[in-house]
Amino acid sequence: MAGWQGVSLRTPPDWNLVAVSGDENKGYFRVDSPTSAAVEVRWSILQKPPDNLNARAEEYLETLRKAARKRKISFSAKVKSRKPTPAEENFGGGSVGFTWRSDKNAYGRLLYCGYCKRLVIGQVVSDSGRDISGLSTSILSSICEHEEPGWNVWAMYDLQVSVPDKLKLRRHTLMSSFVELEFASRKDKLVIQRWGLAANTLLKKQSLEEWADKVYMPGIAGYKTSRTSEDDAHKSLMFTGKRGVKTTLLSLPMGLMGKPLPRNIRGHAWFCEESNKIYAVRHYHTGESDLARIIKEKIACH
């Protein structure tokens, strides 16, 4: 699975998100297979469905044709009609398929998603001579399934989680050893982290609690926290806290929103032995909220 900014698709488990750019209005990502195939997805917001998806696909292929001409390589392409996916039947919108062939082969789908109101172009590209038609069909059909309306799937580097769509991505770090996603809305902030190489390095000579006290909790500046160990499927701990008086006075602006940090924090951290990784979720909020636990339960760590 790969997911970014509310656009997600089902890829084989050993394929990895390698490039992201843009935002939810207009953006791009690429997922690479371990061998020479990749899927590229680009999207842009369009409040109304385009009159003619075929024409849009032809337009797109024309830009590729021009690029091929410049490089003096052959290019042939075809646009095909496509059966509506269950999501299209559900939310409206529609799509057309396309293929092109030059120094590489591609199967693509251009769709207008009735749920997220975006024009999305997805294509699976591989070296010529490799038959990827079957795999491409299942990957392309899974774009914009939106199985859980109101929640966006974010999936990359062995992290897969659903996040309420009102929380917007503010910052991210994507490395195989460390992934961090920071989201914010008008009222709250959510930080999701995943450390790789856990058992080998981070937890070799210390417990999860010791690691948390040394490495994780100091990252939560300005909050008076208390933590407890939790007994569930993993070695895990939970913490809650309140913003200290000092920070209330100094109250740093919260990211781009220019709002003071919310009063409460709640979080979870756990070591997943099966995937050999540490995961942590913390939620800055006002009033009561159980979002940190809900997010924890939504992370498919193994």
What is the contact surface with Zn ion in residues (CB under 5 A)? 113, 115-116, 144, 272, 301-302
The nearer residue to Zn ion, 41 or 184, going by C-beta atoms, is 41
State which residue, 282 or 296, has the beta carbon closest to Zn ion.
296
**Run of H or E residues at 294:** helix 291-298
Q: Within a 10 A sphere around the Cβ of 260, how many other Cβ atoms?
A: 14
Which CB sits closer to Zn ion, 213 or 297?
Answer: 297
CA 214 to mean position of chain CA atoms: 29
Q: Rounded distance, CA 91 to CA 34, Å?
A: 34
Complex with Zn ion: residue 55 or 233, whichever CB lies closer? 233
Q: Given the complex with Zn ion, which of 198 and 301 has the nearer CB atom?
A: 301
Closest distance to Zn ion from the beta carbon of 79 (Å) = 21
- Least distance CB 277 / Zn ion (angstroms): 8
Nearest to 82 by CA among 51, 109, 47, 112: 109
Query: Which distant-in-sequence residues (6+ apart) come within 8 Å of 183 by Cβ?
Result: 163, 167, 168, 169, 170, 189, 190, 191, 192
In which residue are the tokens 């992201």 written? Answer: 20
**Tokens, residue 150:** 């109101």
Distance in Å, CB of 160 to Zn ion, minimum: 11
Least distance (Å) from Zn ion to the CB of residue 272?
Answer: 3
DSSP string over 183-238: EE-SS-EEEEEEESSIIIIITSSS-HHHHIIIIIGGGSTTEEEEEEEEESSSEEEE
**Smallest distance, Å, CB 190 to Zn ion?**
20
Name the nearest CA neighbour of 49 among 102, 93, 95, 107: 93
User: Which is closer to Zn ion, CB of 163 or CB of 265?
Assistant: 163
The whole-angstrom separation of Cα 88 and Cα 65 is 29
Distance in Å, CB of 241 to Zn ion, minimum: 25
Residue matched to tokens 């220019």: 258
Asked whether the beta carbons of 203 and 210 are under 8 A apart, the reply is no
End-to-end CA distance of the chain: 13
CB of 115 to Zn ion, least distance (A): 5
**Phi-psi group of 197: left, alpha or beta (phi > 0 → left; psi -120 to 50 → alpha; rest → beta):** left
User: Closest approach of Cβ 32 to Zn ion, in Å?
Assistant: 22
Residue with Cβ nearer Zn ion (3 or 241): 3
Nearer to Zn ion, 115 or 151 (CB): 115
